[in-house]
Structure formats: C-alpha cells, structure tokens
Amino acid sequence: MQVSRGAVYLRGKTRTIGYIVGGRRFREAIGTNRQMAEAMLKKRCVEAIEGRHFNVRNEGRIPFSEFAATYTERCISVVKSAKTERDRVQFWVREFGNRPIGQITRAELQSWQERKRQTCKPATVNRIMCRLRHMFNRAVDWELLDQSPMRGIKFLPENNARLRYLSREECDRLVESCIAPHIRAIVTVALHTGMRSGEIRNLQWNDLDFDSGFIIIRDSKNGEPRHVQWIRPSFIYSATIRERRDGNLCSLTLQAADWDGCSTDSARH
C-alpha cells in the first residue's frame, strides 16, 4: 500500500499530523509538543506500511485548558456578551483542567448536570452547558475530536417565568436609592423605556430623535435595530446630556419626573 511521508503542521496552536494512505488523506490532532507529533507521525506511517493501519480514531489528546485558550481567542472575542461567555469558558477550565478533551465522557457531564440542578435554576445550568456544547462542536470542526461528548445530552426544561410590576412608590424609591448621578440616569431611562442596561450605556448622540421622541437601538440583543418611544416626549427634553469624544453618551443628568404615563411594561421587575 502506498504511504506518503506525511507532515507535521500547526492548526491554531495545535500540532497536527497529516499523511496519505492508499490515496486517502488522514489528519490527527496531537497537541502542542512537536516531538510527540513527529513520533506519532512515524508510528502511523510504520503501521500503514506493515498493513496495520486502520481508520484511526481521533482520541482528543489536546489538554482541555489549551483547547479552551484557542477557543477563547477564535470564538469568544466576536460574541456580544464576551465577558460572560469568557467566564463560562473559565468555569469549564477549572472543572477539567489539563485533562485531554477525549477523556471527558457523556456520563460525567450528565452527572454534573444532575448535581448542578440541585443548586441552580435550569436556565443557569443550560447556559453553562450550552457554551460547553459549542466548545466541543468546534473541537469536532477543527478535527481535534471525532465526536462531542455533549451529543445526546438534553437540556433541562426551563420555567423561570417571573412577572411583577413596580408601583409608582417603588419606582421612586429605586431612583432615590441611586446615589451616583449616572446610575440614577440609567435606572430612570430603563424605567421609562424598558431598555436593557447595555443598550442604554451604548447609546450615541445620533440615536436620539428629539423631533419624534424615539430612540433607535442599532445593536440590540438579537442583532436587529429597533425603535423605542419615550413614554413622555417632554421627558427627553428635561435631560442634560454630555457627549464623549467617541460619540457615546457618558452621562445623563435627568431632572425629577413624575410617573404619569410611565408604561407598566417598562417598570416591570
């Protein structure tokens, strides 16, 4: 059987071996050690020449911590909630450490899920496991692993519905409890519009339409722009707004406003 000499090359930060046996190309991720990768390449070529070559399973030898570092660099930097997702990746790094990713089993992940549900809400458990599932899917895509151990694991059913409306008195107390002016401004805008904290903090001057009383949110959670109407159009005129050099609004110093006409949807807790 014809066997090529093969090669050792880098895919990201991982040493990968590639060789051709009988016209079929094989690739196998080894790790960060070049000497180990070269030794494994020689072993595979000898096995092929001696007729002992099989469809070698990629056993996932790369340590989880190394894989997580590569994953963070490639994937986390492009998501909206990068800090939150980076924390979730680090959670799994603390859980698995330097264990090879191929040694992580479906059974232990199911056991972890069962233990965690005793102390956390289903949605919390699902968000953490969702990040791990994406990590293993990328490991399969990058040919670091043959099959994800998350395959076949079902997420927990979620029932975190909570609906309560703040009274006018509660709205007043909430605003009065905000000592820092910029925090008070953010809370006040949130109560009047129902906007998310990140949406308020990312506002720019040209996002405020004083004529129509609308705010445009250009980069919402689902990636699509949307418009939010101020409940009282005169409310925005009572604001003193300072603009940073980059165009973002660094502070909103708002005058006291009554809650007449304040949407109950916006004051939802």
pLDDT of residue 239: 43
162 located within any domain? no
CATH code of the domain containing 230: 1.10.443.10
158 located within any domain? no
Task: Kindly report the average pLDDT of the chain as a whole number.
Answer: 78
pLDDT of residue 132: 96
Q: Which positions of the chain have pLDDT values less than 50?
A: 233-269
Same domain, 136 and 176: no
pLDDT of residue 256: 37
Bridge-based pairing of strands 7-11 and 214-217 is unpaired
Last residue of some domain: 141, 159, 176? 141
Same domain, 178 and 137: no
Same domain, 176 and 101: no
Give residue-wise pLDDT tens across range 147-190.
Answer: 899 999 999 988 756 677 888 888 889 988 988 888 888 888 88
pLDDT of residue 92: 96
pLDDT of residue 130: 94
Give residue-wise pLDDT tens across range 77-103.
Answer: 777 778 889 999 999 999 999 999 988
* End-to-end C-alpha distance for the chain, whole angstroms: 70
Same domain, 36 and 113: no
Same domain, 129 and 177: no
Domain containing residue 247 = 168-254
Number of domains in the chain: 3
Stated pTM of the model: 0.54
CATH code of the domain containing 83: 1.10.150
Same domain, 239 and 173: yes
